[in-house]
Amino acid sequence: MPVQRVVTIHYHLTDPSGKTIDSSEGRGPFSYLEGAGQIIPGLERALSLLSAGQETTVQVAAAEAYGVRRPELVLDVPKTKLPQADVKIGDRFRGGPDEHAPVFTVIEVGADTVKLDGNHPLAGVDLTFRVNIVSMREASSQEIEHGHSHDGGHDH
């Protein structure tokens, strides 16, 4: 079995137009456990080939990031089926009580129905990451068992 590592990075994420989507600038670096599905597959695959101290730019196609847009996840729903009566464009809520239920975003409000989008907000978007690998280390057995890095504080 390959050694799992905890990778700590600083990153700057942009969309195809160059608009900043997210960045670790002004915050501490981000740590993740390799192979635990904590970052998008295309980025994890590229970073797995690098070492601490390296900087790189990674282009990640939508299919290897948050997926392609799926039209079947855009639904017209009667307002009476929503968890609250007063909704507006941009509101988000889970599609059920399970913490893993999909999250829907209100994209259109009609008189009797609401159009919901269950796609991730970045579905269909190609992404560019500028990454500085701050450190890489072997994961502890406890981190592997728990499925996440314990860097930066930890509470179970």
How crowded is the C-beta side of 150, counted as CA atoms within 13 Å? 12
- Non-local (6+) Cβ contacts of 64 within 8 A are 40, 41, 42, 45
Instruction: Give me the domains of the chain, ranges plus CATH numbers.
Output: 5-66+123-146 (3.10.50.40), 71-117 (2.40.10.330)
Tens-level pLDDT at each residue, the chain (156 residues): 466 889 999 999 999 999 999 999 999 899 998 888 889 999 999 999 999 999 999 999 999 999 999 999 999 999 998 888 789 999 998 888 888 888 999 999 999 999 999 999 999 999 999 999 999 988 778 777 776 677 765 555
pTM confidence score: 0.80
Identify the bridge partners of residue 56 per DSSP, sorted by sequence position.
131
User: Which has the closest alpha carbon to 119: 137, 132, 107, 130?
Assistant: 107
